[in-house]
Structure formats: C-alpha cells, structure tokens
Amino acid sequence: MSIQDDIKMYLQYKEDLAELEDQVSTVKSRIRELETEIIQQMGDDGIAGMKIDGKSIGINRRLRAGAKAEFGGIKGLVEMFNKHNMAEMCTETVSAARLGSWVSDYDPEGMLSEDQIRRAMIEGGVPDEIAEALHIYEQFSLSVRKG
C-alpha cells in the first residue's frame, strides 16, 4: 500500500468517526431526555424501582456541590476551608495543559531536545529542582483540514 492509499484510508476513518460521534451525541441526548422523563414519571407514580427485561431500574440520588462565584469561586472556598481548619477538603494540583504550554514557551521554534529545553528553562530562571522533576516529551498526530 502506498502512502497516498494510507492517507486516503486515514481520511475515510476520520470521516467515519465524525459520523459515529454525531450518532453517539444524538443517542446520548435522547437518553438524557428519556432519563429525565422516566425519573419524573417514577417519582410522580411513587415507584422506587422496577424490573424490565431482566434488568433492575431504580433512581439514584447523588448530591453535588460547587463553589459559588459570589464567594470568590474555588479560590474563595479554599481560603474559607483553610481559615476554618478544614484544609483536608482541598488538594493542590498542576494543570497538565498549562504545564505543557509553559514548557513550550522555552522551545518556541519546536526544535529543541528534552535536555536543551531543560537547560533553557534553568537559564531562564526555573529552579534546577523543578526543571529536573519535569517529564518532557513530544506527542505527534496528523492534522486534517478541509480544502
């Protein structure tokens, strides 16, 4: 098989995938609509659960919570938890996307090796400890545009 044939097959698979994703999106949307209707009907009829076609159907309730913007959002909530000695409610994380973008700033041309990027970071003022603690790697994928 030639590279052109491989690319044509790749493009066909991309189109097939886009169509399937549209179908999945439509099915998921319909499932959400039906779920809302069924939950309402079961609640109205006082039905906690039932069996249909050998499958048990029941209503699950999960409480969710989030930070209100008017109280400072996540940052404000973290400050309140810390203020009231409830720091165990909070965890610190590093955003992978932001970290990747930050590291990319040290290789604007996209031509440096991992070691060269690390040296550029250290020369740019990043502490050695942080530069050494980073796993820097490349990922490649094909881009496809119409036209």
Element (H, E) at 85: none
Closest CA to 94 of 122, 133, 68: 133
> For the segment 81-122, what is each residue's pLDDT rounded down to a tens digit?
999 999 899 988 889 999 999 999 999 998 999 999 999 999
Start-to-end CA span in the chain (Å): 24
Please give the DSSP secondary-structure letter assigned to residue 46: T
Taking the whole predicted model, whether its pTM rises above 0.85 is answered as no
**Hunting for tokens 């604007």 — which residue is that?**
108
pLDDT at 144 over 80: no
